């Protein structure tokens, strides 16, 4: 058991003009999670502390926050992994704070919904399952793991500037269907990705990949979507699908130029 010095950024819009820091001393075991520390504060020191959590086991994605400057799930960070006895907790950046550590996820989910995160297939229903080879399934396996915690999107500098960028999480979830051999909405999704606030806003900072509690290779997925736009085709486990056809309209051709910081922007 040791004493942790915990600094939490607090904000109650009914009482405060702006956020402020409050300090707490908490006894913690090395095997405690940051979530345990926060709940100890809430239950024994200050019941007004507001935070969001549900499963407490890294599954639901509802307790993402900034822990010592890095986005993480509070239920996945153990006290013994902290580098000092001081713990700094803030809400995720760039989303409106509702209270204390709770942010308004609506802009995040609006971006998620905009990429059509569901299977599109207008083919006549088959009499059996829509079959897929193991290689075709493996093509998008990594991006099926997303739990929509927003740790990636709110760690992304282009998203911090006005929240116009669709964000890495939305691209991950577009990737999950763009590279699914059963899907017929690839052309529409690629058009959404090709928007001026779409996939080309990525600056390859890799903050998203480092923040993801599911270990998804987010920057790789973003680059694969960019390549699908540039080539007009997707490759899935040995299967090449040309983007075109009834629903799969070819993405608008790009005439962009490489920018000095490594990004490529479409000419709007």
Name the pairing type of β-strands 257-258 and 264-265: antiparallel
> Residue 81 and residue 250: Cα distance in Å, rounded?
48
Q: Name the minimum Å distance from CB 90 to ligand SF4.
A: 17
Instruction: Look at residue 251 and give the partner it binds from ligand SF4, ligand FES, none, a contact being a CB closer than 5 to 8 Å depending on partner kind.
Output: none
Binds ligand FES (CB under 6 A): choice among 38, 49, 65, 75: 75
Q: 195: which strand partners? A: none
Q: Name the minimum Å distance from CB 81 to ligand SF4.
A: 18
44-to-47, 126, 134 alpha-carbon distances in Å: 7, 58, 51
Binds ligand FES (CB under 6 A): choice among 45, 48, 54, 231: 54
Instruction: Look at residue 216 and give the partner it binds from ligand SF4, ligand FES, none, a contact being a CB closer than 5 to 8 Å depending on partner kind.
Output: ligand SF4
Asked if 248 and 267 touch (Cβ cutoff 8 Å), the reply is: no
Extract the tokens encoding 92. 């995720």
> Residue 35 and residue 227: Cα distance in Å, rounded?
39
Q: Can you state the angle between helices 168-178 and 218-231, rounded to 10 degrees?
A: 60
Question: 37 or 152: whose CB is closer to ligand SF4?
Answer: 152
Instruction: Look at residue 49 and give the partner it binds from ligand FES, ligand SF4, none, a contact being a CB closer than 5 to 8 Å depending on partner kind.
Output: none
Closest alpha carbon to 100 in 7, 165, 30: 7
Binds ligand SF4 (CB under 6 A): choice among 101, 172, 178, 192: 172
> Residue 197 and residue 226: Cα distance in Å, rounded?
13
> Residue 83 and residue 130: Cα distance in Å, rounded?
50
103 binds ligand SF4 (CB under 6 A): no
59 binds ligand FES (CB under 6 A): yes
61 binds ligand FES (CB under 6 A): yes
147 binds ligand SF4 (CB under 6 A): yes
Binds ligand SF4 (CB under 6 A): choice among 101, 152, 170, 190: 152
Q: Name the minimum Å distance from CB 53 to ligand FES.
A: 4
Closest alpha carbon to 8 in 74, 100, 82, 103: 100
Asked if 3 and 27 touch (Cβ cutoff 8 Å), the reply is: yes
Question: 87 or 146: whose CB is closer to ligand SF4?
Answer: 146
Q: Name the minimum Å distance from CB 91 to ligand SF4.
A: 15
58 binds ligand FES (CB under 6 A): yes
Binds ligand FES (CB under 6 A): choice among 32, 36, 63, 100: 63
Closest alpha carbon to 151 in 96, 210, 199: 210
Residues of the shown chain interacting with ligand SF4 in the complex, contacts defined by CB under 6 A: 61, 146-152, 168-169, 172, 211-214, 216, 218
> What residues make contact with ligand FES under the rule CB under 6 A?
53-56, 58-63, 73, 75
């Amino acid at each position: 058991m040791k004493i942790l010095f915990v600094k939490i950024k607090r904000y109650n819009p009914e009482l405060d003009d702006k956020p402020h820091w409050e300090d707490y001393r908490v006894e913690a075991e090395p095997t405690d999670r940051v979530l345990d520390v926060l709940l100890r504060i809430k239950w024994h020191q200050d019941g007004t502390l507001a935070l969001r959590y549900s499963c407490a086991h890294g599954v639901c994605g509802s307790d993402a926050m900034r822990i010592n400057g890095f986005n993480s799930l509070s239920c996945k960070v153990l006290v013994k992994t902290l580098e000092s006895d001081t713990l700094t907790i803030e809400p995720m950046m760039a989303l409106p704070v509702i209270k204390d550590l709770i942010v308004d996820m609506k802009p995040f989910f609006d971006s998620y919904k905009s990429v059509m995160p569901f299977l599109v297939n207008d083919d006549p229903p088959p009499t059996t399952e829509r079959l897929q080879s193991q290689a075709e399934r493996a093509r998008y396996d990594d991006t099926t793991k997303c739990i929509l915690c927003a740790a990636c999107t709110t760690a992304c500098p282009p998203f911090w500037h006005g929240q116009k960028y669709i964000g890495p999480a939305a691209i991950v979830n577009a990737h999950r269907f763009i590279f699914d051999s059963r899907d017929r909405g690839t052309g529409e999704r690629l058009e959404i990705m090709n928007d001026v606030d779409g996939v080309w806003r990525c600056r390859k900072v890799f903050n998203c990949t480092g923040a993801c509690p599911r270990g998804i290779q987010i920057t790789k997925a973003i680059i694969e979507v960019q390549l699908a736009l540039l080539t007009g085709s997707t490759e899935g486990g040995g299967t090449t699908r040309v983007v075109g056809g009834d629903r799969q309209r070819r993405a608008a051709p790009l005439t962009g130029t490489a920018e000095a910081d490594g990004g490529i922007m479409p000419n709007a």
